[in-house]
Structure 1
Amino acid sequence: MSETDIIETINQLVSKEFLDINDINELIDQIKQLNFDTALNQISNNNYHLIKLLCNEAKKSIDSNLVTEIIKFINVIANEDKNIVSILIEMESFNWIIPNCFIVEETLSINYLTTLNLIFSNFDNLPKKELLKLDDSFLDSLIELALQFKDYYETNFIHSLYYTMFGYQKNIISDGYSPLILKLYSIKEAPEIGPEMISLLNRSNLEYNMLPQCLSLINDLFTYSTEHEIPCFFFTLDIKVLIDIIIREINNLDELDPSRWQFLEVLSTIIDHSEYSSPNFNNDSKDNNNNQNNNYNDEEIISFYKIDDIKNVLSILNEDRNSEKDPQSSILSKSILKKLNKLQQQKKR
């Protein structure tokens, strides 16, 4: 078929008052045959009538396979035309995106998570009516899905779900801790998904510009544990990996990069946590120190995990040249250094 014939077929389908399953499949197939720019033009015609039509059909349909095909199609074009994300909100699409996300086969749910991530990352203030749909049941289903994904060899599934968590954290405003923090601490198995969250942070770049939300979530998980005097959400080994990541990022990030300040804040929160100063956490550090300081008694060996590396990188931030260019990092690093020195003094006593 020529491009003209394809466009004519699309227009005929879109002009129908109702579309059945075959019509929708044909509509998507016809659009896929166009070059991308032409397809985008067709999609945006008549105030995105085609997208609104697909949203309405997805909302009415009980065929999850059809709805999944619609969401796959929307994801591809929404990456190129952000107006489509606004249309999804306008059409109150959470009504069908969220239920289908958790009833389809696990491997297909990533398509719906991708849509949620596009929405979360492109909106700072979602309508209250839509936020109410991100309820307790939504969080239960999200964490249950994460527990299923954690054993997958391919990490893109659980990483996509983490981005959904970060997006939730970005959009939900609550007094005190977000419902996500409370939920993660209320589900016994939830800490099992912690290691892969740290692994995701270890990437050089997070998708959807979600690094601030990732660090905010991690920071809140530590502060909640400290305030309520309960075991930390993260396992000991993962906390050590997290500290290693923070040291690296503080050292590598450009001056005045707000991410550096956030990494410093998370580091400060970790050091405030009782886990950092616990004997079990620092056993390895003590063993290493014993090997290097055979002339000292055990009581004299004061060691905390990577404390020398932490102090070194913080001291660099306090050098005159750096403190002038980035006073915020200097202030934060001085505060952390005081905490570390205080910990060491307490151990000596």
Structure 2
Amino acid sequence: MARLLLPRLPLLAALLAAAAAAHEVGAWAGASSAPAERSEVAVAALDGKAYVIGDYNGATELLIYDLAADSWSKGAPFPYPVHHTMAAETGGRIYVFGGYVNGWDASDKVWAYDPKSNAWQPRAPMPTPRAAGGAALINDKIHVVGGSGSGRGNVRTHEVYDPAGDTWSKAADLPTPRDHLAVQAVEGRIVASGGRIDGDSGKNLSANQVYDPERDAWSEAAPLPTARSGVASAVLGREVFVIGGESNRRTYDEVEAYDLPANLWRALARLPTARHGFGAVTYKGRIYTLTGSPRPGGDRSGTVEVLDPNGAAPAR
């Protein structure tokens, strides 16, 4: 009887790794680094540009990335140092909510940035001061979800800002209070994924919950496959992409996408530079990840990496 000849173990491992790489979904590419390193930022996109706001280390300059030209410029500085703030775009302005100031004091301040005048204007403050939550736009109103107050204890608060009236209203509380979570609007609903308990990255969560504004109610959804916090997130089509993140021991390179109608997750090609405290925006079918810390804690970078979810993974 003929014997089946197996490759030596190192060769077998290499073949298995190559096979896995060949089946990766999506492809990553590098882009121009930011002119200054940042972490614990908020990122929002408007008219083909991404705006990077805040910094864990106290920088206030507004960094502006032209997505088509792959080039950077700077805008009017934010009025004061802030980190772990939240941002969303509507009506030609970038709105920035809360964040930590003076160390770890949660702010209730709201600011609007107008790119045409390159100026910041104060808006009605949040009813609940907080940081490290999420903001998402539905029907011209911005939902600010979760986060932490001063002292880093979680709040489950869900408040809705109406930019037209500069007013606030209350919505159903987030069922699982947490901070450093992903909050995105998709298919007319809000998806809140991952996060941590009371600012402790050693207590990451896989919670995934969906808010229906018509019913003003949350429901449980398929859990995030890799529990983590400090992620970047973005929406393409009907999927929420949850990218990177950290624990108290390491940063993550996982990229997982949640299909809301199917209530299913899928894995994609891994983030080339594992990091946390960064942001992501979409442009012409690609996801751009901006800045962030490659190590747990307060490190920073100017890294920009771009995911084409439909691209073939490069040979390795």
What TM-score comes out, normalization by structure 2 length? 0.24
Specify which structure has the higher proportion of strand: 2
Specify which structure has the higher proportion of helix: 1
- The one of the two structures with greater contact order (alpha-carbon pairs below 8 A, sep at least 6) is 2
User: Bigger radius of gyration, 1 or 2?
Assistant: 1
